[in-house]
Amino acid sequence: MGEMPLTIEEAAGWLRSGKITSQELTAALLARAHAYQDTVGAFITLMDESALAEAKAADTNFAAGIDKGPLQGIPIGVKDIIATIDAPSTANSNVLDPAWGNREDATVVKKLRQAGAVIVGKLSLNEFAIGWPDPTTGFRVPRNPWNVAHSPGGSSSGTGIAVALGLILGGLGTDTGGSIRFPAAFCGISGIKQTFGLVSKEGCVPLGYSLDHIGPMARSVYDCAVMLQVLAGYDPLDPCSLNVAVPEMLAGLDGSVEGLTIGLPIPYFFDNPALDPEVKAGVLGAVDLLKEAGAKVVEVALSYAEEGSIAQRVTMFSEAFAYHEGDLQTKPEIYGRYTRRSIREAALYTGADYVQAQRVRSVIKQKLAGVMQGVDVLVMPTAASPAPSFADFETNSTKDVPSFCGLFNLTGSPAMSIPVGFSSRGLPLSMQIVGKPLAESTVFKVGHAYQQRTNWHLKVPELTVEGVSA
With a cut of 90, say whether residue 239 has pLDDT above it: yes
Mean pLDDT of the 68-95 span: 97
Position 26 scores a pLDDT of 98
Per-residue confidence band for 1, with pLDDT thresholds at 50, 70 and 90: very low
Average pLDDT of the residues of the chain? 96
- Between CA 134 and CA 336 the distance in angstroms is 6
Of 22, 124, 179, 413, the catalytic one is: 179
Are the C-beta atoms of residues 447 and 415 closer than 8 Å to each other?
A: no
- Between CA 379 and CA 381 the distance in angstroms is 7
How confident is the model over 105-121, as pLDDT tens digits? 999 999 999 999 999 99
Per-residue confidence band for 282, with pLDDT thresholds at 50, 70 and 90: very high
Pairing mode, if any, of strands 428-435 and 213-218? unpaired
Q: What separation, in Å, do the N-terminal and C-terminal C-alpha atoms of the chain show?
A: 11
User: Torsions phi, psi of 52, nearest 5?
Assistant: -65, -30
Per-residue confidence band for 469, with pLDDT thresholds at 50, 70 and 90: low
Position 399 scores a pLDDT of 64
Position 411 scores a pLDDT of 98
Q: Is 441 a catalytic residue?
A: no
With a cut of 90, say whether residue 392 has pLDDT above it: no
- Between CA 232 and CA 225 the distance in angstroms is 10
Position 355 scores a pLDDT of 98
Quick one: what percent of the chain has pLDDT higher than 70? 97
Per-residue confidence band for 8, with pLDDT thresholds at 50, 70 and 90: very high
Mean pLDDT of the 15-34 span: 98
Q: Which of 231, 251, 249, 250 is nearest to 241 (CA)?
A: 231
With a cut of 90, say whether residue 447 has pLDDT above it: yes
Q: Residue 377 in 3-state DSSP?
A: strand
Mean pLDDT of the 2-9 span: 92
Mean pLDDT of the 189-197 span: 98
Identity (one letter) of the amino acid at 405? C
Per-residue confidence band for 83, with pLDDT thresholds at 50, 70 and 90: very high
Of 79, 436, 445, 459, the catalytic one is: 79
Q: Is 89 a catalytic residue?
A: no
Least confident of 65-69, 317-321, 388-392: 388-392
Domain edges within the chain: 8-469
Q: Is 155 a catalytic residue?
A: yes
Mean pLDDT of the 142-165 span: 96
With a cut of 80, say whether residue 396 has pLDDT above it: no
Position 132 scores a pLDDT of 81
Mean pLDDT of the 392-405 span: 73
Of 89, 155, 200, 423, the catalytic one is: 155
Per-residue confidence band for 391, with pLDDT thresholds at 50, 70 and 90: confident
User: Torsions phi, psi of 45, nearest 5?
Assistant: -135, 130
Position 470 scores a pLDDT of 52
CATH 3.10.350.10, domain 8-469, yes or no:
no
Q: Which of 249, 155, 235 is nearest to 197 (CA)?
A: 235
